[in-house]
Amino acid sequence: MTQRQVTLLYLATALVLLALMAAQVQREDSGTALGNFTRALTAPVVGAVSWVGASLSSAWHGYVALRGAEEENRRLRRELSLLQARLARRESQALENRRLQMLLDLRQVDPFARGTVARVVSFVSEGPLSRAVLVDRGRAQGVGQDWIALQGAAVVGRIVHAGASLSELMLISDPDSGVAARHQDERFAGILRGGNRGPARWMPLEYVPKDKPIAVGDVVVTSGLDGLFPPGLLLGWVRSIDDASPLTWSVAVEPAFDASRLEEVLLLPPARATGPESDAGESSRAGER
């Protein structure tokens, strides 16, 4: 091939790729048949490498753990006797709580009944533009599009591509992400965007009117208005408030989940799939700083 022909081939390929992208932007969809095919093709490699990595890490941690086991054993025995005493007290409180709930006829809904635990097998984030991880659960395990992920009581993100056995989990810090949020105590709503603003990678909480009281350290939880995340799940803590805009506060929120420590997540179906939920705020209150 002459250089002129090769240059034309480059140009033609570039135009095809641009057209492919433009079509996806119009459809607001990034899942193409070719994408699904290459994802299925590479999934076994990603899964195998992750399995080997996790096995080596587990063997090493097992060896390290054995070395300090004796001292840890003594310490744990001391803690156990203390905890047994506390447990006895808590059990009597739980019984009392149950009796009171029956009296009030509270409806018991467990939003976590259909949850499944997934292991983070790979970080696929690239540059400043996306924040995503791969998890080892997919359609074969019943996990689908828009399932949500939690780390403890903290919201991590949602599934954007559910593969056969691996799924892509977009973190709430991704620039594309937006979560319907609420101030835990004052109950006003806002939208928590991704985007990693500023040096500390905080996330902007948008549409907070200036007549609403807000302070650094306040807790932000999900509102449930987006139909994905059940209400009351912990999103993060207010870390800075700026009055740059005349009508709304510019609020920066530190996410409650820690991306550098993401090893396992709890996957749950989206709120719209599970029906009316009880406010999960009690669990997030435990995470207040």
Partner 1 sequence: MRLKALLLLTGGGVVLRALLGLWPGLALVSDPMLVLAVLAALPGRMDRALGAAVLAGILQDAWLGRWYGEFAFIYLVVVFFLSLFAGWVDLVRPLSTILALAAATVASWGLQLGLSAAFDHPVADLPGAGVWLGAMAVNVVLGLLARPVVRRLKGYES
Residues of this chain that interact with partner 1 (CB under 8 A) are 1, 3, 6-7, 9-10, 13-14, 17-18, 20-22, 24-25, 30-32, 34-35, 38-39, 41-42, 45-46, 48-50, 53, 121-130, 132, 134, 160-161, 168, 170, 175-176, 193-199, 259-260, 262
Q: How far is the CB of 202 from partner 1 (least distance, A)?
A: 10
Q: Of 39 and 137, which CB lies nearer to partner 1 in the complex structure?
A: 39
Instruction: Rank residues 127 and 213 by Cβ distance to partner 1 and give the closer one.
Output: 127
Residue (14 or 140) nearer to partner 1, CB:
14
Please state the closest distance from residue 121 (CB atom) to partner 1, in A. Answer: 8
Q: By C-beta, is 113 or 129 nearer to partner 1?
A: 129
Q: Nearest approach, Cβ of 84 to partner 1 (angstroms)?
A: 38
CB of 56 to partner 1, least distance (A): 10
DSSP the chain: --HHHHHHHHHHHHHHHHHHHHHHHHHT----HHHHHHHHHHHHHHHHHHHHHHHHHHHHHHHHHHHTHHHHHHHHHHHHHHHHHHHHHHHHHHHHHHHHHHHHT-----TTTT-EEEEEEEE---TTT--EEEES--GGGT--TT-EEEETTEEEEEEEEE-SS-EEEEETTSTT-EEEEEETTT--EEEEE-S-BTTTTBEEEEEEETTS---TT-EEEE-STTSSSPTT-EEEEEEEEE--SSSEEEEEEEESS-GGG-SEEEEE--HHHH-S---THHHHHTT--
Q: Toward partner 1, which CB reaches closer, 18 or 94?
A: 18
